[in-house]
Structure 1
Amino acid sequence: MSKSMSYFIFLSLLAIVPLCIASKNYNGYLNPQYYDRSCPHVQHIVSSVVSKAVAKDPRMAASLLRLHFHDCFVKGCDASLLLDNSGSIVSEKGSNPNKNSARGFEVIDEIKAEIERACPHTVSCADILAIAARDSTVIAGGPNWEVPLGRKDSVGASLSGSNNEIPAPNNTFQTILTKFKRQGLDLVDLVALSGAHTIGNARCTTFRQRLYNQNGNGKPDFTLNQAYASMLRQQCPRSGGDQNLFFLDHTTPFKFDNLYYKNILAYDGLLNSDQVLLTKNRASMELVKLYAENTRIFFDHFAKSMVKMGNLFPLTGAQGQIRKNCRRVNSS
């Protein structure tokens, strides 16, 4: 057996074993059956509203999935992202990763309103985000998983945390991995969760430097397929058009599948943070190849990494509160 094949098999086993362990780690507090008695229809309510929203706007699946990610990376999965500006709160919605980008808040509002009618002051906004992210994935054709529940909502936000902790499209591979590790997530989580980019869009401003000035020397990023780059330049000029949208997966943009990884192998990764998974680290490169070859393994790893991410520093018990309105802290 060749050394490269041995390494590939070892990496596959290394990736699967810790994730299997993590899949049932609910931090001692979160539990999929948390609302079985207090609000037995919560999952149905969330699924119904999300289904209608995605049917109306296919982009919404990716948007709701992204909200959960951007929430969990800042102070944990506590719905801090949903808070609007107020006298005491500077909203995370105004941060660089979220401004003119994060969307789907009205869908969360609708879910919360329906749940409040069915089970007043029972289900947290943080749990709604976690369920909506799972349902969005399933509706788009991706994997299903049990969502551990029982989170409480924060009473504050962190604009600086949102600006500094969320991985950015132009970050180096090592910076992105460091940000994941600060959350207790590892390389497998990084590559698997990046697969969320199999659906959704990115703005011109998030990848423009790859087309024109990757290293500050006036030259494009040559790890980007130049035929693909030429097509992108038509709607992403050197200046202007910052908000023009492009599919993260130009092959099957609304279907949750493994084409994202196949695009990376063809050097058609749209964002720098996508393509560096192939070019800057051997272990991540092998995972990209594995997921491109095997949808089942990708789906399995993605689901388990979503559970792991959803367990980041939850507020439980007497911590936090259950907001009546996801945009505002409850008045005392």
Structure 2
Amino acid sequence: MDFEKIELAPTADFHVHLRDGEMMRMVVPTIRLGGVDTVYVMPNLIPPVTTVEAAKSYLARIQPLAPDVKFLMTLYMTESLTPEIIDDAASAGITGVKVYPAGVTTNSQSGVVDYESFFPIFEAMQRNDMVLNLHGEAPSTPSGNFIASEKAGESAVSVLNAEKLFLPTLHKIHNAFPKLRIVLEHCTTRDALDAVLKCGPSVAATITAHHLWICVDDVCGDAFNFCKPVAKTMEDRVALVRAAVEGGNGKFFFGSDSAPHPVTAKTGVKKAAAGCFTQSCATQLVIGAIEEAVAKGWISREVTAASLEDFLSNRGRKFYKLPEHAHGRKIQLERKGAKVPDVLKNATGDIEVIPFRRGEDTWKLTWK
């Protein structure tokens, strides 16, 4: 991978948090700075987006902030959803429904506890060809609730094994609804990648930019590297980079999980908010991580512009049944001494967000 200049189709980012209010007005205009023209919008606002009307209203707030970006809208899985709402959502052009296990990440208080109780919703989604997006973690075992004995018959759930312990739930849903398109979001482990490969063609997975860069050691001591699911081992990181390049028969594609938080929510608190902000350099960060992996010898096959474009754009567009190259535009990346910004501020300076890999060298991106 010895490029000085690369030209690609625009990136399609199939997992993005845009927030609301002033934070939304600050981060939405950064989407195109990261080379992205298609965004799959997460619904975990306060209150969450659980109705067709709420999704339409949210789209009406974000679209004027980035007129050249295609926004794909989602609903938040909650007990208020019904098969009739799913029918209406599909008719209104809403693409999917996001499932958050209760309490595992930012704004997931209204999330799912019992997946089987939502089987009628999954059936309606399968009938309407909507996409089910799974945050693939089991809720952590509360402190003091675990019996430290083999007789307990189960492992305590922590951030390090939560993804692995969720995988049987993925297979259970897929086996019950084999035609339902399912995305296991932000995979962090080799086990998760293997689980997706064992499923049929209706199951895929997203890989973030930040998980291509870091492992658990990078999270310890740096609140701005803390996300959910947390980064895992170096072996898992290598597996993710290889999956991004090799593709897994089209099953693995890009979803940044870019999640902006004010500096005050990441530092100086008892519990740092989960999320890495990567939106303004999304494409650049992915290419940089793959470039580093090649230099370290983790990837033996040749990495071409076409293989980068497959991960960043083509595979995801195909799974979501979108045109391969939206708008006919191109992005160009060059080695010209660009750096990831140290901080992103709103116009009044009262909100500050620290980007992932702040201050580090990156690629210069321009639209063609």
Question: What's the TM-score once normalised by structure 2's chain length?
Answer: 0.28
Bigger relative contact order, structure 1 or 2, given CA contacts below 8 A and separation 6+? 1
